[in-house]
Structure 1
Amino acid sequence: MAQRHFEGKDHVESYQRHRVSPPQELIDEVLNFLRKRINTDLDLAVDVGCGSGQGTELLAPYFLTVVGTDISPAQLKIASDKDHPANICYRESPAEDLPFEDSIADLVSSMSAAHWFDHPRFLQEVDRILKPGGCLALLSYTMDFELEYGESTSKLNNICEEFYAALHPFRKAYIGSSSLQVYKNIYDSISYADKEWHECLKSRRIMPLSKFIGLVETFSTYQGFLEKDPVKAKKLSKTITDRLLEAMGASSTDTELTVIVKYFYILASKPRKS
């Protein structure tokens, strides 16, 4: 059974403000893989577990229609209410029961969401709705972001390691101790012979310290801590923020630094009928 998370109002709003979208380089990798297998116009992309649509919008220039699906009405409301390309629409749907006809989609994608799905049932649905030659793209990133800020870089990353370690006990049992391993298991279970595993595409993002802290606070680990003990969770976040500021020699969380996001991804193509 799929897991339900990211549905509380405050969490949804924070998710929209702070979560990072995949870099264009990664979207290009997906499209290059797809275009080597489908050389006609691209009609439909389905982005599963789309959340508030940050990643869904990146697909819009390349497809006639893009449909984002999610089980969270709150996430979908934000996605639908904000300005978005006219060829995008959103539907409430579980990943394991997608509201599409058979053999209709050129691409099925999921960006930082597939670890929550019921993987066998999701992959069955992917196989059902993909056209022959159509592609599956599962993208995600590790949660151990690295920071760069001049001579303070090493100190900042030592502090971040403490932050991540303090949150790790609050990982949901469903996804185990490693998201990377979850995706490797999904990769192994994909029946298509034409599939690729890619690891450690690094994306550098310049952002204020406040956005980095807000990003970590959207993690399910921090949210689990917040649910269990709000006082201690908020105290941890403030303590880490203060220590990072001190290490940077800065006084404001508006101070910008570089955040390194490490992506991994799966690409797979449904066989054409013989």
Structure 2
Amino acid sequence: MSEAEEGPPKNWFDRGGEAYARFRPEYPADLARFLASLAPSYGLAVDAGCGNGQLTTQLAPYFDTVVGSDPSVDQLRNAREAEGVRYVVAAAENMPILDRSTALITAAQAAHWFDRRAFYSEVRRIAADQAVLALVSYGVMQFGPDLDARFQDFYRFEIGRYWPPERQLVDSGYADIEFPFTEVQAPPMEIHQEWTVDDTLGYISTWSAVRAVEAAQRTPLLHSFAADLRRLWGEPTRRRRITWPVTVRLGVQ
């Protein structure tokens, strides 16, 4: 009997940096292309809080060098490689980057964790003239109508109280984040993935709320949701289209 037939594995949610590298959704190719088009030069881009380097590597074709910075050794151990990309273990508020050297600074699905006052000070330090800062976030995943009701109940009510306060900033598309820069509008974008039920549960396993549920020893509600999702999904190998709205707060230094 296959794992899919047996139901969710006992520790489907117990994952680390490897899960981020495997399951986090891909940003649309148009995002990196658009951000690069705004940069005043193509020497250096810095991706703060880069995680496993999803956006970092997408920026690589457009810049001579892209530096991905993250305080997590585990994340960088699983980071993607690409020509022109290098990674440093460092907080977004204190990066080993030369003054006034950087044409583009990005933070993808990360700025809500920063000390933003300190981060903005660091942005001003490393930014070249007319450098661009982009805070990228993606919102709640969207399924078809046959799955959305069960998912929304899980997301908002069953694990809703386990989300850290910072999650509200993501859900609002960073609309409530202070942003002391000359702002530029970004076009609407979406992430699209064609995922199996195991892909979907793997992604959910990377959520901070899932970690909090585990710490609270409430894992049965995770497994109950996983069983319901598998039942509603149908054939476990079926690929369903899932979307996330992408929001970009853009500023010029």
TM-score (ref. length: structure 1): 0.81
Partner residue, 1:168:
160
Partner of 1:157: 148
Residues 192-211 of structure 1 correspond to what in structure 2 (within 5 A)? 192-193=181-182, 195-198=183-186, 201-211=189-199
Which residue does 1:240 correspond to in 2?
Answer: 225
Q: Percent identity?
A: 26
Cα drift, residue 244 of structure 1: 2.6
- For residues 238 and 255 of structure 1, do their structure 2 counterparts lie closer, same or farther at Cα, with a shift above 3 Å needed? farther
Instruction: Give the alignment of 1:36-185 within 5 angstroms.
Output: 38=40, 40=41, 42-79=42-79, 84-142=81-139, 144-147=140-143, 153-165=144-156, 166-173=158-165, 175=166, 177-181=168-172, 183-185=174-176
Give the unaligned 5+ runs of structure 2: 1-13
CA contact (8 A) 1:156 1:247 kept: yes
SS in 1 for 2:132: strand
Shift of 1:246: 2.7
- Conserved in 1, the CA contact under 8 Å of 2:47 and 2:68? yes
Report what 1:257 is aligned to: 240
TM-score after normalising by structure 2: 0.87
Structure 1 residue 119, shift from structure 2 partner: 0.5
Partner Cα separation in structure 2 for residue 172 and residue 48 of structure 1 = 21
| Secondary structure of the structure 1 residue equivalent to 2:174 | helix
Counterpart CA distance in 1 for 2:123 and 2:227 is 45
Q: Does structure 1 conserve the Cα–Cα contact (< 8 Å) formed by 2:69 and 2:91?
A: yes
Alignment partner, residue 7 of structure 2: none
Instruction: List per-residue Cα deviations over 1:222-241 (Å, max 9, x = no partner).
Output: 11111221xx32x3333223
Shift, 1:10, TM fit: 3.2
Structure 1: 5+ residue runs without aligned partners? 1-8, 148-152
The answer to whether the 8 Å contact 2:67/2:87 transfers is yes
Amino acid across the alignment from 1:92: V
Superposition CA RMSD, Å:
2.0
**CA gap 1:203/1:121 in 2 versus in 1, 3 angstroms:** same
Counterparts of 1:14 and 1:156, CA distance in 2? 23
**Alignment check: 8 A CA contact 1:206 1:259 kept:** yes
Letter in 1 for 2:216: K
Question: 3-state SS of the aligned residue for 2:189?
Answer: strand
2:15 to 6, 10, 16: 10
